[in-house]
Structure 1
Amino acid sequence: MKTIIETIGSIGNLKVLAQSLESAGLVDDLNEAGPFTIFAPSDEAFASMPPHSMEALLKNIPYLQRILWNHVVREKYDSNHFVKLKDTKTMADSGLHVVSKPKVTINGAKVVKPNLICSNGIIHIIDHVLMLSMKAPATGTY
């Protein structure tokens, strides 16, 4: 079974996410044992961001790291958990709100492909990037 990073790299519509994780230096972190749940924005989700947003993120690596950590939970939640799970915290110490009906959404982003099982967690592909405020944490750690 592939790791989260190997799975992201093998899925055609997660190329921007794979490149972003590499640019942010988070590949080794997400190759750890986990378990992790990744709410993975598709390439289309990144493309729907305001113009020049990706360029700005790539110039501000601490903020890029924080945005990416906002898509990661240090638990393993498959779609069966979404019925009971209402809120959870991300690795960016931000809250995610889960709505399970009529369709599963995470902070308003639709889960378009759930339950990609990996050796160190699970991936759910979503249709939007989960943004944060520009304020970075004072510690610089995530």
Structure 2
Amino acid sequence: MADLVETATQAESFKTLLTLVEAAGLVDVLKNPEIKTVFAPTDEAFAKIPATTIASLMEDTAKLKRILLYHVVSGDVRSDDLIQINEAPTFEGSVLAIDSSDGVKVNDANVLKQDILTDNGVIHVIDTVLMPALVAVE
């Protein structure tokens, strides 16, 4: 198997996410052997955000890191776990709301695909970029 970054690269639907992870200097965080769960927004999810906002985030790496780390949870959290919990603490420091009453939602994002396993964790594909409450984005 491949690690989180290699798996996301092979999927070819996370080009924007991978570009931003690289711009924020977080590739090593996603490549290290510590097991983690990533709620990965698709390129279509990033397309909902204006290009000017993405460009400004690439220049504000502190804000970009916070946003990206808000998508990462410690440990191996699979679909079986998601239906049993209602929140998950993130690497950013905030907590994600998990709702499995009608499909699985993370905050306002729908989980499109679950349990993509990697050497160092699991990826759940989501349709919306998650924003921590204290990060203002234009």
**TM-score when scaled to structure 2?**
0.94
Q: Which runs of 5+ in 1 are unaligned?
A: 136-142
- List per-residue Cα deviations over 1:117-141 (Å, max 9, x = no partner): 0000000010000012237xxxxxx
- For residue 81 of structure 1, what is the aligned residue in structure 2? 81
- For residue 117 of structure 1, what is the aligned residue in structure 2? 117
Q: In the aligned structure 2, how far is the partner of 1:51 from the partner of 1:29?
A: 25
Q: CA RMSD in A?
A: 1.1
- For residue 126 of structure 2, what is the aligned residue in structure 1? 126
- For residue 139 of structure 1, what is the aligned residue in structure 2? none
- For residue 43 of structure 1, what is the aligned residue in structure 2? 43
By how many angstroms is 1:34 displaced?
1.6
Q: Which runs of 5+ in 2 are unaligned?
A: none
- List per-residue Cα deviations over 1:53-98 (Å, max 9, x = no partner): 1011101001101100000001110101111111111000011010
Judged with a 3 Å threshold, the aligned counterparts in structure 2 of structure 1 residues 86 and 57 are, in CA distance, closer, same or farther, namely: same
Identity of aligned residues (%): 36
- For residue 12 of structure 2, what is the aligned residue in structure 1? 12
Q: In the aligned structure 1, how far is the partner of 2:28 from the partner of 2:54?
A: 22
Write the letter of the residue equivalent to 2:61: I
Moved >6 Å (runs of 4+): none
Counterparts of 1:43-62 in structure 2, within 5 Å, are 43-62=43-62
Aligned length: 135
Write the letter of the residue equivalent to 1:57: L
Q: In the aligned structure 1, how far is the partner of 2:107 from the partner of 2:135?
A: 18
- For residue 21 of structure 2, what is the aligned residue in structure 1? 21
By how many angstroms is 1:110 displaced?
0.2
Q: In the aligned structure 2, how far is the partner of 1:79 from the partner of 1:2?
A: 20
User: Residue 56 of structure 1 aligns to a residue in which SS?
Assistant: helix
Q: In the aligned structure 2, how far is the partner of 1:75 from the partner of 1:97?
A: 17
Write the letter of the residue equivalent to 1:35: I
**TM-score when scaled to structure 1?**
0.91
By how many angstroms is 1:51 displaced?
4.7
